[in-house]
Structure 1
Amino acid sequence: MADAETDSLTAEQQACLALWAVPGLGPRTLAALRAFADGSLSPLVATPVRDWVSQAPVSPQVRRRLATVERLAPLADRVLSACRASGMGVAFAGQRAYPERLVEVLDAPPLLFYRGSPGMPRRRLAMVGSRHPDQGFLPLARRFARRVAEAGVGVVSGAAAGVDQACHWGALDARGETWAFLGSALDAFDTAQARLLPHFLDRGGMFFSELPPGVRASTTTFPRRNRLISGASDAVLVMRAGKKSGSLYTAEAGRAQGRPVLAMPGDVRQEAAFGCNTLLRDGHATACLAPEDVWRVLKVDPLAAVPLPGALGSWEALSAEAKGTFAMLDRVPRSFDEVLIGSTLSPAALVGALVELELTGLVIQHPGRLYERI
């Protein structure tokens, strides 16, 4: 299942997809290649690789790999074919399946591979933790995630055994939205992740990876994917982390990206809680004792939660007026008059669009007729 958005690629997208499939070529090198090609990758599609590769601003290793490619367009086609064979879609930055908040991240990938269907816009929380937390913690994590999801908050994690999967299951228990960012390609995940996937697809969840088909997980891919977990979220909650837990990479990435970081304190005698307690001691995180702490940071009212799947339709079901009004709003409250000035709608039509967005849980109205998107 290739996404409809990628059935017909532009030359820029073809070049981007082909280059992204070359091992060792990351966001910075891609940006350098775009500058090398006068601001657009499109000319590289029309020109044999041998005609430009010797002058390209890439590492020697990447240059050797590129030299084995005749043209970029056939390579992009091969990647798309592999995606279709594995049921993956490809989302380029700016498309609806690409997480909106991730676009803000400095080293965000230009595209993501995914499985599942994008849901309604909402606040999202990264919930991460150890593969081996202290005894009895996993049921607590699952219940906590369920309460978070019941408030309409999306749960983002890494699908790893332990706390990550407990949080995904908690969101699924509530029939809420949950996203998993993997450290492997979506055709190369482990058995536990493979068992989780059908439940995601049945209940509105999504699997994401920045890695092209065929790439297996390694010690380098997991730390890299952690920046995606935090970058796609509005805040990060570290539930359990030992001294060397990978969850601390997610917390560090979240801080660098300007995301609020929370941590759940634990018994000082428990090695599994050492990382969380250290984050709190050093002032790098705010203590999280209950879901109410999450709701406060995300500015979520659980009594006015985003409807769970099937409750009030989908993004596609919204009127054109509501979609256009939503696009005009942001995370800073704006007055009705401010929105009206930038809108082409009449005052009455704008009121109707805002009411529709409020009923769907996509917009919060503050006192004084101030409107904020979720």
Structure 2
Amino acid sequence: MVNIDMPELAARLAFLCAGGRRAPRRELLQKHRSASAALAAGPQAWRAAGLIEDVCIRLRRGADPEVWLRTAEWLQRPGNQVIAWHDPDYPAALRTVSSAPLLLFASGDATLLQDPAVAIVGTRSASVGGRALANQFAQRLASAGLAVVSGLAAGIDGAAHEGALEAAGSTIAVLGSGPDLCYPAQHRDLHARIAAKGLLVSEYPPGTQPLRDHFPARNRIIAGLALGTLVVEAAARSGALITAQFAVEAGREVWAIPGSVHNPQARGCHRLIRDGAQLVERAEDVLLSLAPALGRVVAQPARRPASRAIAAIPLPEDLDSDHKTVWSALGHDPIPMDTLADRTALTPARLSSILLSMELQGRVKVTHGRYLRTPG
């Protein structure tokens, strides 16, 4: 754990608040081995490193007092720390990314930043099947000793974090807000569990609100912390594709899971595969791809029960509660009756009645005893 005094904290925040290009500021921290020494080096040294005059002026002003106070208070809580570029605890994988952040605000087990990791990302509007896949892949990869990195968003991200925790494995959530704030609010409990059993990390200081521009930016950190990025479901235009592009630029692996041609949330994955991403169908495909980088063959874990985690998806407004439950449990690919019964907890008689009603309404299609939502 990195221990810093208040003058050093103020100097680190001064470099953060000064803004401007990251590379010159990282160079100053690396050269002087502390933010305090880099700040004391003065304007001549700052300019020599490449800082422009406006940035030098802001650097002389120091840290924003409110940012300093919030961060100082946050650091009083157990498990919280500020990791700077020059610290030995700064993640080695992230150092190779040209746009790597100057500081990381971490809450939880910061040693996870040094572990081999895989990013699992995808759409917020995930299908039932997509969430189940993200959960299952995360469980398997976490059981194999890999940290699962994602962005704590609704949909695929949340399912990936849940899967890693269910496997008693490691997970890292990269936030688009300060580490003390949870977004979306529905993940407040998940946010707390990751802080207790995994790691929350952000380039934004405590108290920073989740602004729209923060989320594309945090995707480079997700990709940079991982050996590769797995995209489970993604629309043709999706933030997950931004993460995949960052992974490509960083020289990391990109994997994509194919989906039904009727599922609009599979189009981004199909595009990635056309562009050269590896098509994967099982977590073992990811592990085999990573074996050379890991220098070992990952052992098979003990069998675990399949996850029942499912996501909320758009529902027709005229359905009653049981019909909505069945609709949510259906995916874009055929699902057998026993799987639907497991997901819905409805009796076979009630489930059969609802499925027949939906089939007659044209909402559900049955093929060889398997059910799926009707395309369109």
In 2 relative to 1, CA 60–75 (structure 1 residues): closer, same or farther, beyond 3 Å? farther
**Aligned partner (choices 185, 193, 215) of residue 199 of structure 1:** 193
Q: Which protein is bigger by CA-based radius of gyration? A: 2
**Aligned residues of 1:123 and 1:233 also touching (Cα < 8 A):** yes
Cα deviation, residue 187, structure 1 = 2.4
Task: Indicate conservation of the 8 Å contact 2:97/2:250, yes or no.
Answer: yes
Structure 2 residue aligned with 1:30, among 2, 20, 25? 25
1:99-151 superposed Cα distances (whole Å, 9 cap, x missing partner): 22111211211220010013465421000000012343212221221111111
Partners of 1:45 and 1:72 within 8 A in 2:
no
Measured in 2, the distance between the counterparts of 1:195 and 1:260 equals 31
State the Cα distance separating 1:214 from its structure 2 match: 2.2
- Per-residue CA deviations over 1:200-258 (Å, capped at 9, x if unaligned) read 133x3000001122221222111111010010011111111101110001000000000
Q: For the residues of structure 2 that align with 1:47 and 1:79, how far apart are their CA atoms?
A: 27
1:295 aligns with 2:290: no
Q: What's 1:353 paired with?
A: none
For structure 1, the residue ranges without an aligned partner over 5 or more in a row are: 306-374
Cα distance, 1:216–1:289 mapped onto 2, change above 3 Å = same
- Partner residue, 1:18: 14
Q: Is the 2:17–2:63 contact (alpha carbons within 8 Å) kept by the matching residues of 1? A: no
1: distance between equivalents of 2:163 and 2:32? 48
Cα distance in 1, alignment partners of residues 75 and 29 from structure 2? 27
- Structure-1 separation of matches of 2:92 and 2:73: 26
In structure 2, the CA distance between the partners of 1:295 and 1:245, relative to structure 1 (3 Å rule), is: same
User: Which residue of the partner structure matches residue 354 of structure 2?
Assistant: none
CA distance in 2, matches of 1:29, 1:214: 26
Give the conservation status (yes or no) of the 8 Å contact 2:33–2:86. no
Gap change, CA 1:77 and 1:6, over 3 Å in 2: farther
Query: Which letter does structure 2 place at the counterpart of 1:27?
Result: R
Give yes or no for contact 1:130–1:241 (8 Å, CA) kept in 2.
yes
Residue 184 (structure 2) pairs with residue 188 (structure 1):
no
- Compared with structure 1, are the counterparts of its residues 182 and 26 closer, same or farther at alpha carbon in structure 2 (3 Å cutoff)? farther
Contact 1:21–1:212 under 8 Å retained in 2:
no
Contact 1:33–1:57 (CA<8 Å) still a contact in 2? no
Aligned residues of 2:17 and 2:64 also touching (Cα < 8 A): no
**1:143 corresponds to which of 131, 136, 143:** 136
> SS where residue 303 of structure 1 aligns?
coil
3-state SS of paired residue (2:299): helix
Alpha-carbon distance between aligned partners in 1 of 2:4 and 2:45, rounded to the nearest angstrom: 27
Aligned to 1:113: 105
How far 1:262 moved relative to its partner? 0.6
User: Which residue of 1 is the match for residue 213 of structure 2?
Assistant: 220
2:148 is matched with 155
| Runs of 5+ unmatched residues, structure 2 | 302-376
User: Kindly tell me: are residues 38 and 246 of structure 1, through their superposed partners in 2, closer, same or farther at Cα, counting changes over 3 Å?
Assistant: same
After superposition, the Cα gap between the structure-2 partners of 1:166 and 1:40, relative to the gap in structure 1 and judged at 3 Å, is closer
Q: Which residue of 264, 269, 287 corresponds with 2:262?
A: 269
Deviation at 1:48, TM superposition (A): 8.4
TM-score, with structure 1 as normaliser? 0.68
Letter of the 1:83 partner, please give it.
Answer: W
Equivalent pair of 2:143/2:167 in contact (CA under 8 Å):
yes
Which position in structure 2 is the counterpart of 1:45? 39
1:41-80 matches, within 5 Å, as: 42=36, 45-46=39-40, 62=55, 65-66=58-59, 69=61, 71=62, 78=69, 80=71
Amino acid at match of 1:277: H
Q: 1:205 to 1:271 in 2, by over 3 A?
A: same
**Aligned equivalent of 1:348:** none
Matched to 1:289, the amino acid is: E
Hey, what's the Cα distance between the residues in 1 that align with 2:29 and 2:76?
A: 30
Matched, 1:103 2:95: yes
Distance in structure 2 (CA, Å) of the matches to 1:39 and 1:93: 9
For the pair 1:124 / 2:120, whether they are aligned, the reply is: no
* Count of residues paired in the alignment: 294
* Cα 1:259–1:44 shift into 2, 3 Å: closer
Q: Distance in 1 between matches of 2:166 and 2:173?
A: 16
Alignment of 1:315-330 (within 5 A): none
Partner of 1:164: 157
> Aligned partners of 2:300, 2:259: CA distance in 1, in Å?
31
Q: Does the 8 A contact of 1:20 with 1:26 survive in 2?
A: no
After TM superposition, give the deviation of residue 66 of structure 1 in Å. 4.8
Within a 5 Å distance, the mapping from 1:335-350 to structure 2 comes to: none
Offset at 1:30? 2.0
CA RMSD, aligned part only? 3.4
Secondary structure of the residue aligned to 1:240 is: coil
Shift of 1:54: 10
**Alpha-carbon contact 1:158-1:182 (below 8 Å) kept:** yes
Instruction: Provide the residue aligned with 1:239 in structure 2.
Output: 232
